[in-house]
Amino acid sequence: MTKVRCDWCNNSEIYVKYHDEEWGVPEYDDHKLFEMLVLESFQAGLNWLTILKKREHFRSAFDGFDYKLISKYSDYKVLELLQNEGIIRHRGKIEATIQNAKAFLNLQSEFASFSNYIWAYVNHQPKLNSFNSLDQVPAQTELSQRISEDLKKRGFKFLGPTTVYAFMQATGLVNDHVISCFKHKKSA
């Protein structure tokens, strides 16, 4: 029997793998959460499939998403990244990644982990939505607006409410798998 999935992922093997194994799965590991913050910020204005295809290049270019290393990147490293054809070569997003690594470290020291900080917004429980179709899924919510505003106050860049909502979906803070999808859970 064929698995029923969210419509957005059925046109690509990469999308199907991402949908089935990652999207909407609760993630608590700070390293993985930072990776998704980076990827989602680079995705802004682009197709997510573009980012998934370049994911390994991003991982290599950004030292395995090691935020401690990234927080110390120099201007020379920025220039090096701007020459890397395997990633999205956008100076603002590269510089934002460095700034976000610094802000990420600050949040970790304040909350013991970024995970503690971000999951507190949903009372440490994934929010299960019940949408019948993709056109019902919002691009942003009041909560993603609040989180985005707080992240901005804390020095984060390129993380507007739409990007934050995509991050929330990707890391399982919200489960936006449509009801007919095998990944939608009837009870959280």
Q: Identify whether 18 is a catalytic site residue.
A: yes
Band of residue 112 on the pLDDT scale cut at 50, 70, 90: very high
Contact 87, 63 (CB under 8 A): no
The predicted structure's pLDDT at residue 187: 40
Q: Identify whether 40 is a catalytic site residue.
A: yes
Q: Which of 57, 47, 51 is nearest to 39 (CA)?
A: 51
What CATH number does residue 133 fall under? Answer: 1.10.340.30
Could you say which of 15, 23, 27, 48 is catalytic? 48
Give the distance from CA 168 to its chain's centroid: 7
The predicted structure's pLDDT at residue 1: 67
Is 148 domain-assigned? yes
Is 171 domain-assigned? yes
Q: Identify whether 21 is a catalytic site residue.
A: no
Is 183 domain-assigned? no
The number of distinct structural domains making up the chain is 1
The predicted structure's pLDDT at residue 3: 87
Q: Which phi and psi angles does 128 have, rounded to 5°?
A: -95, 115
Handedness of CA 63, 65, 66, 70 (dihedral sign): positive
CB atoms within 10 A of CB 121: 16
Residue 186 has pLDDT above 60, yes or no: no
5-45: per-residue pLDDT in tens?
Answer: 999 887 789 999 999 999 999 999 999 999 999 999 999 88
Show the domain range for 107. 7-175
Q: Could you tell me which residues are beta bridge partners of residue 128?
A: 175
Residue 79 has pLDDT above 70, yes or no: yes
For range 101-119, the mean pLDDT: 98
The Cα–Cα gap between 159 and 164 comes to 6
One-letter identity of residue 65: F
Could you say which of 23, 40, 117, 165 is catalytic? 40
Is 1 domain-assigned? no
The Cα–Cα gap between 119 and 10 comes to 29
Could you say which of 18, 23, 73, 165 is catalytic? 18
The Cα–Cα gap between 62 and 94 comes to 10
